């Protein structure tokens, strides 16, 4: 009994320390906007912007240990040495750091500035990242958002109309898709997708699925699905058929089942202002450099980047189409690929000296095995583009955020997120 009490006390102390550190960080990175440009940010995605959700899940994909968070003074669950793009983005919009949905403290008025549903190893397809264990796919994250607007937010508003207006003015960040490649399509020994689809067909599948996730609604669950249990979202079901099974082995049934069974997704749940983040040059990350031997003049795996470009091209078209077909919606596309590629090609232009090695990793390029608990990292972290085998450093994240969330952002189209927030 004493041991259990001690463990509970230790966990509570960790939560308290983490909250104190994040409160301090919020003050440090707080943007110039005294009044928030938007009431809230709701964030969906993967480990690039997960700020601690996977800490509360049974998964290998966690970053709740040092040296992760080394520049924050404590590991928070962010897969970085410090802050993520959405952390900097929130501050540029005048908001505090957005809390992770699964945190025990994300309750009541604390969620009025928004919630972060992003989960490391998550993808557009529900099967993506299953070899890591627990994770919340994009579909699962939307189900949690549905729980938020049906049960958690209504008590904080006097009327349903007030809640609807709040959602209409909020900004929704969707940064998903990288894992559908590096933790699915590019792992043929674990996943069947590369044998079922050519590159263009796979990109089409991802966009078709994303379309239904954003503009339609969900019956991705069996009648007994428990909203309170994050593990129940890991696979999900369509009329009793596992999404992961259907998407990997029966693509026709997968598509027809989704079309006939999904309605009222993000758009019909109230989302109107959405940022769609493109995928970066995955052929340049340390894990791919380790796995592949052939690189181009920039030191990247060109055919992997070509695969990603197929998805990005379709995402741009998708964004334009949604703007013209979903009444009252505003979609913005963030071009990560070009600026990141330029950083790799011309690192000194951005203040970096190392572009092909992880600051904390193992093996060639630091890509064989990602950053391990208490592993020494490089001391000159702001000179590295990559923090670990997969993720950029805090310094890179700040640059990317400034080029999209600031008043003069040029990497988002047709307008910056700063402008989107004010619509």
What amino acid positions are annotated as catalytic residues? 47, 388, 391
Rounded distance between C-alpha atoms, residue 242 and residue 264, angstroms: 21
Rounded distance between C-alpha atoms, residue 337 and residue 359, angstroms: 21
The secondary structure of 133-191 as a DSSP string is B----HHHHHHHHHHIIIIISGGGSSSHHHHHHHHHHSEEEEE--HHHIIIIIT-TTT-
Contacts for 182 with CB less than 8 Å, ≥ 6 apart: 282, 285, 287, 288, 390
Rounded distance between C-alpha atoms, residue 43 and residue 98, angstroms: 8
The secondary structure of 313-372 as a DSSP string is HHHHHHHHHHHHHSTT-EEEEE-HHHHHHHHHH-GGGGT-SEEEEESSEESGGGBSEEPP
Q: Alpha carbon of 291 to those of 14, 42, 47, 301: distances in Å?
A: 37, 35, 20, 10
């Amino acid at each position: 009994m004493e041991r259990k009490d001690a463990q509970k006390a230790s966990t509570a102390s960790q939560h308290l320390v983490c909250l104190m550190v994040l409160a301090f960080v919020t003050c440090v990175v707080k943007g110039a906007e005294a009044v928030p440009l938007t009431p809230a940010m709701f964030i969906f995605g993967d480990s690039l912007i997960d700020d601690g959700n996977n800490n509360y899940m049974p998964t290998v994909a966690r970053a709740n240990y040092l040296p992760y968070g080394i520049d924050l003074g404590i590991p928070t669950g962010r897969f970085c040495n410090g802050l993520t793009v959405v952390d900097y983005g929130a501050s540029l919009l005048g908001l505090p750091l957005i809390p992770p949905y699964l945190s025990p403290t994300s309750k009541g008025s604390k969620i009025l500035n928004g919630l972060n549903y992003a989960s490391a190893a998550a993808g557009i397809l529900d099967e993506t990242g299953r070899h890591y264990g627990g994770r919340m796919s994009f579909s699962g994250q939307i189900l949690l958002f549905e729980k938020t607007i049906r049960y958690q937010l209504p008590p904080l508003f006097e009327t349903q109309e007030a809640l609807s207006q709040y959602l209409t003015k909020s900004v929704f960040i969707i940064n998903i898709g990288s894992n559908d490649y590096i933790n699915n399509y590019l792992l043929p020994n674990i996943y069947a997708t590369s044998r079922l689809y050519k590159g263009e067909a796979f990109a089409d599948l991802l966009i078709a699925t994303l379309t239904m996730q954003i503009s339609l609604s969900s019956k991705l669950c069996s009648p007994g699905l428990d909203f309170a249990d994050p593990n129940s979202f890991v696979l999900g079901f369509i009329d009793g058929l596992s999404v992961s099974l259907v998407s990997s082995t029966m693509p026709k049934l997968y598509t027809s089942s989704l079309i006939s069974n999904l309605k009222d997704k993000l758009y019909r749940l109230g989302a109107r202002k959405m940022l769609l983040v493109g995928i970066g040059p995955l052929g340049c990350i340390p894990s791919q450099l380790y796995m592949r031997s052939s690189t181009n003049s920039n030191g990247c795996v060109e055919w992997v980047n070509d695969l990603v470009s197929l998805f990005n091209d379709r995402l741009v078209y998708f964004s334009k189409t949604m703007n013209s077909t979903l009444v009252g919606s505003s979609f913005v596309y963030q071009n990560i690929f070009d600026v990141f590629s330029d950083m790799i090609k011309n690192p000194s232009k951005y203040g970096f000296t190392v572009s092909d090695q992880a600051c904390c990793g193992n093996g060639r390029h630091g890509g064989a095995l990602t950053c391990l608990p208490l592993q020494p990292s490089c001391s000159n972290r702001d000179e590295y583009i990559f923090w670990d085998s997969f993720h950029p450093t805090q310094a890179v994240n700040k640059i990317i955020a400034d080029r999209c969330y600031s008043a003069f952002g040029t990497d988002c189209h047709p307008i910056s997120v700063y402008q989107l927030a004010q619509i």
